[in-house]
Amino acid sequence: MHELQIASDLMNAVLEAVKEHPNASRVEKVDLSIGRLSFVGDEQLRFCWGAITDECKLLKGCKLDISEEEVEISCRSCGYIGEMDVSEDPMYHFLLPVFACPECGGEVDITRGKGVTISNVRLMIDDGVEG
């Protein structure tokens, strides 16, 4: 299951980030952006996240704030960089589309929109100081 793997990678990444804050008592919220080409289901991811973090003291009850990341391509031939709308074609869920440069028809690299990125981790710091 795609989402379970992602949730577990996410958990490792968040725990890794929390290590830098030894006073953190809890992780309150994690902001994520999910690339449109990664086809991660928000609900499935939230479900898996809830399931795997339930046993973890730091992450129990932690919310996911999910936003979508547009797909960006960059052309190998002419250097064109631009966004690509991939939202409408359900075929993209089954086949990874081969994109061509809208300027020259050349081969492109997908530079954004393929993965899941953590943009922010909000911690509760237990340092005994008010504010």
By rule CB under 5 A, what string of x and - marks binding of each residue 34-63 to Zn ion? ------------------------------
In the bound complex, what is the minimum distance in angstroms from residue 83's beta carbon to Zn ion? 15
Stretch that binds Zn ion, among 8-16, 27-35, 87-95, 97-105 (CB under 5 A): 97-105
Question: In whole angstroms, how close is the CB of 74 to Zn ion at the nearest point?
Answer: 9
SS3 letters across the chain: CHHHHHHHHHHHHHHHHHCCCCCEEEEEEEEEEEECCCCCCHHHHHHHHHHHHCCCCCCCCCEEEEEEECEEEEECCCCCEEEECCCCCHHHHCCCCCCECCCCCCEEEEEECCCEEEEEEEEEECCCCCC
**Residue closer to Zn ion, measured from CB, 47 or 80:** 80
**Which residues of this protein are in contact with Zn ion, per CB under 5 A?**
75, 77-78, 80, 101, 103-104, 106
